[in-house]
C-alpha cells in the first residue's frame, strides 16, 4: 500500500446458497491476498460470537423459537453491531472478505414470506460492499454436495425459494461465478475479480452506504 499512503481496504461480500462454497473460497481468498502483502481479514455473518449472535445461533440450531420478524431484526442488528469496526478496518487499509451480508438477510427472510421492502429497511445505512460476488449453483446441485447439517434453513425447497430472491436482489454490479465448476476454477476466477477490486479501492474509490 506504500504508493497510496492512506489507501483503504475493500469490502468484498460473498453470497450464495448453502453449500455453494462461500466459506472455502473466502479462506482461499484471504490466503491469496495476504500472500500478496495486502492486509486482509475473513469475516462472516451471522457473527455468532456477539451477544446477538448467540441468540441467532440458538435459533438456527433449533434451540429457540423466534417470530420471523424478530429474527430478521436480530440478523440486521448483528451487522449493525459490527459496523463501526468494519469502517475502522477499511479506513486503516484492511480489506474484508465477508461470507454473507445484507443480501442473505433480505433473501432468507423474504423467502419465508416477509415483505421484501420491510426486510430491506433495517439494512439502510450499513456500509456498501465494493464488490458482491454471487456463487451461483442450482439448489439441487448444492443439495447433492451433502453436508446440509441440521440447521433451520438447510432444506432443498427453502433454498430454491431463497435463490429466487437472490435473483431479485442482484443488479448489474454483481459478479456471478458458476459455483458448480471444480473448486480450483471457481478459485481462479474469484482471485482475479477480487484483486481488481482491492486495487481500485486502494486508488481511492470512496466508501459509501448500502443501497438495497
Ligand atoms: N441468514 C444469514 C439469514 O437468514 N439472515 C442473515 O442476515 C444472514 C447473514 O443464516 F442459512 C441465514 C443463512 C444461513 C444461516 O449462515 C447461517 P451460515 O453461513 O451457514 O453460518
Q: DSSP letter string over 52-91?
A: HHHHHHHHHTTSS---HHHHHHHHHHHHHTTHHHHHHHHH
Query: Does 57 reside within a domain?
Result: yes
- Ligand 1 atom nearest the C-alpha of 109 is 4
- 159 occurs within a structural domain: yes
* pLDDT value for 5: 63
Query: Going by CA atoms, what residue is nearest to atom 13 of ligand 1?
Result: 104
The grid coordinates of residue 114 equal: 416477509
Whether 109 maps to a domain, the answer reads yes
For 148-164, write each residue's pLDDT tens digit. Answer: 878 999 999 999 999 99
- Which residues form ligand 1's pocket by a CB distance below 6 Å? 18, 45-46, 60, 75, 100, 104-105, 108, 153
Q: How is residue 121 written as a grid cell? A: 429497511
Mutate to test the pocket of ligand 1, among 18, 46, 76, 123 (most ligand atoms within 8 A of CB): 46
Confidence of residue 206 (pLDDT cuts 50, 70, 90): confident
Rounded mean pLDDT, 97-109: 98
Residue 142 has pLDDT above 90, yes or no: yes
Report yes or no on 1 lying in a domain. Answer: no
pLDDT at 20: 97
* pLDDT score of 125: 97
Residue 156 lies in a domain: yes
Residue 164 is assigned to a structural domain of this protein:
yes
Q: Is the dihedral of CA 83, 16, 155, 145 positive or negative?
A: negative
Q: Give the CATH number for residue 82.
A: 3.40.50.300
Query: Quick check: is 196 in a domain?
Result: yes
| Cα 114 to Cα 99: distance, rounded to the nearest angstrom | 23
Q: Report pTM.
A: 0.96
Tally of structural domains, the chain: 1
Q: With pLDDT > 90 as the criterion, what percentage of the chain qualifies?
A: 91
Residue in 88, 96, 91 with CA at minimum distance from that of residue 14: 96
The ipTM value here is 0.99
138-156: average pLDDT? 90
* Top mutation candidate among 15, 76, 108, 210 for ligand 1, by most atoms within 8 Å of CB: 108
Residue 79 predicted with pLDDT over 60? yes
The 10s digit of each residue's pLDDT in 25-52 is 999 999 999 999 999 999 999 999 999 9
Q: Is the pLDDT of residue 4 over 90?
A: no
Structural domain of 48 = 11-202
Residue 212 in any domain: the answer is: no
Amino acid at each position: 500500500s506504500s504508493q497510496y499512503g492512506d489507501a483503504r481496504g475493500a469490502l468484498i461480500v460473498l453470497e450464495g446458497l448453502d453449500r455453494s462454497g462461500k466459506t472455502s473460497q473466502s479462506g482461499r481468498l484471504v490466503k491469496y491476498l495476504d500472500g500478496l502483502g495486502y492486509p486482509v481479514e475473513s469475516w462472516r455473518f451471522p457473527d455468532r460470537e456477539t451477544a446477538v449472535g448467540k441468540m441467532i445461533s440458538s435459533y438456527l440450531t433449533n434451540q429457540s423459537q423466534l417470530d420471523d420478524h424478530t429474527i430478521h431484526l436480530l440478523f440486521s442488528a448483528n451487522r449493525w453491531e459490527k459496523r463501526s469496526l468494519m469502517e475502522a478496518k477499511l479506513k486503516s487499509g484492511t480489506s474484508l472478505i465477508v461470507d454473507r451480508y445484507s443480501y442473505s438477510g433480505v433473501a432468507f427472510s423474504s423467502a419465508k414470506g416477509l415483505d421484501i421492502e420491510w426486510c430491506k429497511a433495517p439494512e439502510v445505512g450499513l456500509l456498501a460492499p465494493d464488490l458482491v460476488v454471487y456463487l451461483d449453483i442450482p439448489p439441487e446441485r448444492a443439495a447433492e454436495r451433502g453436508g446440509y447439517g441440521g440447521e433451520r434453513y438447510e432444506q432443498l425447497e427453502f433454498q430454491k425459494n431463497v435463490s429466487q430472491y437472490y435473483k431479485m436482489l442482484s443488479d448489474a454490479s454483481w459478479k456471478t461465478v458458476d459455483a458448480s465448476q471444480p473448486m480450483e476454477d471457481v478459485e481462479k476466477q474469484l482471485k482475479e475479480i477480487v484483486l481488481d477490486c482491492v486495487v481500485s479501492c486502494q486508488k481511492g474509490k470512496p466508501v459509501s452506504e448500502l443501497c438495497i
